[in-house]
């Protein structure tokens, strides 16, 4: 059952993932290769009523942070990269679908799936070199490490039903349970030798836990089948609110950049983060072509401007307002069948961000697939890049962060979907 193929809240900028949902999950590898478009709710029946799909997801994120080199005229000469992190994260979502037409005499499908809704994982490790000193054989010793790591995610367990009450209409309804699992924070400085380049002169690394209340939500989807070659799709998801508790870092606002930041709480804190409603309109078209060609696309809108506050229940902290912007996302893709046997897929996505124009992304997608009797193997990839300026995460002792740093994120995602028909 093809509901929305992309949680359009996947904005990148993984440092902000504890405030904004970071989600790289796509419905399957085929959808990823075609620009993450929408698919019809009900596909033509086959001789195999059950459909089991297991996905293997990998995402590689390269984050570089650099400081500007200023000349005597106060001009920026170049950017000096001082830290590069290349973490990789993995997922194994799955989906089970059943063609129920034989039971109710109209086209219908039922599905159960498990995926990632909100990924908190972030890995920052900065190797700090000591200052050069006379008479020292090792002129560039390691003084210590600045560490900021997060783990854990919020999972989605979704049950969906879709029926075709009319020849021209599909209706789908889904219910999903959202629950957090193993969300932790590790923050601190590991000192090997005291140096002014470190944020502290003693080792201080602490671990903190984050708990998220279990919540649920529903979604409704509709297809209007105009003819055999064209289907229009509509989807709506209502707003939801997550409540978190932690004795570690909590959301705040950076006054220089007006972007989210994290500050250490002195005690156990409870706060709520709202997620706005989401509306999507898309199409799927079988193009008139000598080569079998399928095109799809959709547009998604979310009004983050009405959901831009983190509300604390602890009176010690005030409500944080981020001045988010409404977001629009566009997705388009094409599938060409070479010799009616092998598909070649490509597409692009434009993903808006509630943080503003600086964080908007354009992603390129590619993919293909193969069929082996009852097995179907699809592969898809996507590429994205973001640049923005932010303050130093670890300011050295007795210093001030005068200039903002340049942060660059390059993301590469690979997804393989293995489907078994039975």
Q: Buried (b) or exposed (e) across 209-218, using 16+ Cβ within 10 A? A: ebebeebebe
Q: 139, 281, 152: which is closest to 221 by C-alpha?
A: 281
Q: How confident is the model at residue 71, as a pLDDT?
A: 65
Query: Which pLDDT score is estimated for 2?
Result: 39
Contacts of 103-106 with C-beta under 8 Å, sequence gap 24+, read 104/163, 106/163, 106/164, 106/165
The superfamily in CATH containing domain 14-421 is Outer membrane protein transport protein (OMPP1/FadL/TodX) (2.40.160.60)
CA distance 39 to 53: 16
Q: How far is Cα 64 from Cα 81, in angstroms, rounded to an integer?
A: 7
The CA distances from residue 125 to 8, 258, 268, 307, in Å, are: 29, 24, 26, 32
Whether the CA torsion 98, 347, 167, 301 is positive or negative: it is positive
DSSP, collapsed to helix, strand or coil, labels residue 33 as helix
Residue 178 is predicted with a pLDDT of 95
Q: What is the pTM of this model?
A: 0.89
DSSP, res 6? B
Residue 202, burial from CB neighbour count under 10 angstroms (0-12, 13-18, 19+): exposed
Query: Tens-of-pLDDT digits for all 422 residues of the chain?
Result: 333 333 434 444 688 888 988 654 567 899 899 987 677 888 777 778 899 999 999 989 999 999 887 766 666 677 789 999 999 989 899 999 999 887 888 999 999 999 999 999 999 999 998 876 555 555 678 899 999 999 999 999 999 999 999 999 999 999 999 998 889 999 999 999 898 889 999 999 999 999 999 999 999 999 999 998 899 999 999 999 999 999 999 999 998 999 999 998 888 889 999 999 999 999 999 888 778 899 999 999 999 999 999 988 865 667 889 999 999 999 999 999 987 788 999 999 998 899 988 888 888 999 999 999 899 999 999 988 889 999 999 999 878 777 899 999 998 999 999 999 98
Cα torsion angle, 104, 107, 112, 118, sign:
negative
Alpha-carbon span 7 to 280, nearest angstrom: 11
Question: In 3D, which of 312, 234, 304 has the Cα closest to residue 276?
Answer: 304
């Amino acid at each position: 059952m093809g509901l929305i193929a992309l949680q359009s809240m996947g904005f990148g900028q993984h440092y902000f993932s504890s405030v904004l949902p970071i989600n790289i999950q796509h419905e399957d590898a085929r959808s990823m290769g075609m620009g993450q478009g929408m698919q019809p709710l009900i596909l033509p029946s086959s001789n195999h009523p059950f459909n089991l799909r297991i996905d293997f997801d990998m995402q590689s994120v390269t984050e570089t942070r650099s400081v500007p080199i200023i000349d005597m005229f106060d001009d920026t000469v170049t950017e000096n990269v001082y830290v590069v992190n290349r973490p990789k994260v993995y997922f194994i979502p799955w989906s089970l679908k059943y063609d129920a037409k034989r039971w109710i005499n109209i086209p219908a499908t039922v599905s159960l799936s498990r995926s990632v809704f909100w990924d908190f994982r972030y890995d920052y490790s900065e190797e700090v070199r000591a200052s050069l000193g006379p008479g020292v054989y090792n002129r560039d010793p390691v003084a210590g490490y600045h560490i900021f790591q997060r783990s854990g995610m919020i999972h989605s367990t979704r049950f969906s039903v879709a029926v075709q009450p009319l020849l021209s209409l599909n209706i789908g309804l889904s219910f999903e349970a959202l629950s957090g699992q193993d969300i932790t924070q590790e923050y601190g400085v590991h000192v090997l030798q005291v140096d002014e380049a470190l944020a502290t002169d003693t080792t201080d690394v602490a671990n903190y836990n984050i708990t998220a209340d279990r919540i649920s939500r529903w979604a409704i989807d509709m297809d209007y089948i105009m003819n055999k070659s064209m289907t229009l799709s509509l989807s709506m998801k209502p707003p939801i609110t997550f409540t978190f508790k932690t004795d570690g870092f909590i959301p705040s606002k950076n006054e220089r950049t007006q972007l989210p930041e994290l500050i250490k709480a002195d005690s156990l804190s409870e706060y709520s983060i709202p997620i706005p409603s989401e509306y999507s309109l898309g199409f799927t078209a079988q193009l008139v072509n000598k080569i079998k060609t399928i095109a799809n696309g959709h547009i998604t809108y979310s009004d983050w401007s009405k959901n831009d506050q983190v509300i604390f229940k602890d009176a010690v902290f005030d409500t944080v307002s981020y001045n988010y912007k409404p977001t629009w996302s566009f997705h388009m893709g094409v599938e060409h069948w070479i010799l009616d046997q092998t598909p070649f897929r490509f597409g692009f996505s434009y993903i808006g961000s509630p943080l503003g124009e600086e964080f908007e992304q354009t992603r390129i997608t590619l993919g293909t697939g193969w069929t082996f009797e009852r097995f179907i193997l699809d592969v898809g990839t996507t590429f994205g890049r973001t640049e923005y300026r932010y303050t130093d995460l670890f300011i050295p002792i007795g210093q001030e962060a005068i200039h903002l740093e340049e942060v660059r994120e390059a993301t590469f995602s690979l997804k393989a979907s293995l489907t078994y028909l039975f």
